Structure 1
Amino acid sequence: MPPRKAAASTTTKPITDDSKACTIILNYLVSQNRPYSATEISSNLHNAVTKARTDKLLKEMFERGEIAGKASGKQWVFWGLQDPNATSTPEELAQADALIASLRDAIPTLKADLKSASSALSTLRSAPTTDALREAVQALESEKQDKEERLRVLREGGSKPIDVDERERVEGEWRRWKRARDARKRAYGELEAMLLDSGVIGKEALWDMLGIDGPA
């Protein structure tokens, strides 16, 4: 674990007073509550106490029983002594366990709430925007006005509906002329094929003679 940085010191030069230096080191170790080497402590204190002085003072404080320490590889690490009276009582531990259990029990409900909220958010995001709804309303209003105008004209008699007999008569005429057109088209096709097969006249000359600008 990388060393935790202490707050930047306002000291402009290393402390030379051993008593003050010991107090700074001790307060730092107690506040951090983890082991550090002399190099780490000096660096984290921004060299308010030089590395050499920190190493010397740590060993002296350890010998006086003010801090704890042990060898770790090629160097020593030191940490603040724990206050035996600072341990939690059984009642406090029970309360902490109850709180942990309560929080753990709340996790499924919180997950369900999160899922529901996420679904609602997704629905809101997929819904039409205000501008899109406004445009849709305007389009519907325009269509409504157009239909109302057409209905008004019909009600005022400005446009008379075609009766069934008239419609059937017109449709019959259309079918009759369509049959005549189809018959003439077939007849022309047969005649054109005969003339072209005979070699008497070419297609372009035939169309030019008949005044045809495009396919019959």
Structure 2
Amino acid sequence: MAPRKEKGDKESKDKGEDANTVKALKEMHERKEIEGRVAGKQIVYHALQDAPSDSTPSQLATLDSELTTLRAQIASTKQCEKLLRAELAAFSARVPTDELRGMVSRLEREREEVLGRVGPLRDGRVATRVVSAEEQERVDGEWRVWRGRVVGRKRICKDMWERCSEVLPEGIKKKEELWESLGLEGRL
């Protein structure tokens, strides 16, 4: 014996929903919003469709020729658009005249400023000391020594940093974050 179904079962709910759907479809059919046809014990509903057009072959030929001319117009319009885009890109690459004038005036001001600073040196109004060849050589030698020390220290710093940052502390995902959290200056 099959178990008795209760009112709360899903099938009984579906039947109520189906009844509402059928009722809504019948009302739409009566208002001529949709079409309904009987197929055996069922009614099949479908959307209303326009009747087939009574176009003559001459009308179809006219539409075909119009379609062909429109396609040709589209192709020529696309070609024109392509040319206009290229022209626009060329114009965009050029610097506007006002901008050029501003750049020139800024450069002229900078030039005057530099000439104002160099003028006293050229005129001899500022006492300058001539550096001898021996002194220049001595300074260059010291510079090379210190440059070598800087390069060596950079290498040592880099090696130490690589070893220190092999294992990062919790909460820090990148070496750059560790560098910043330690308050170190310069580049990695």
- TM-score class, shorter: 0.3 to 0.5
Please, what TM-score do these two structures have when normalized by structure 2?
Answer: 0.36
Relative contact order higher in (CA < 8 Å, ≥ 6 apart):
1
TM-score scaled by length of structure 1: 0.32
Return the index of the structure with the highest Cα Rg. Answer: 1
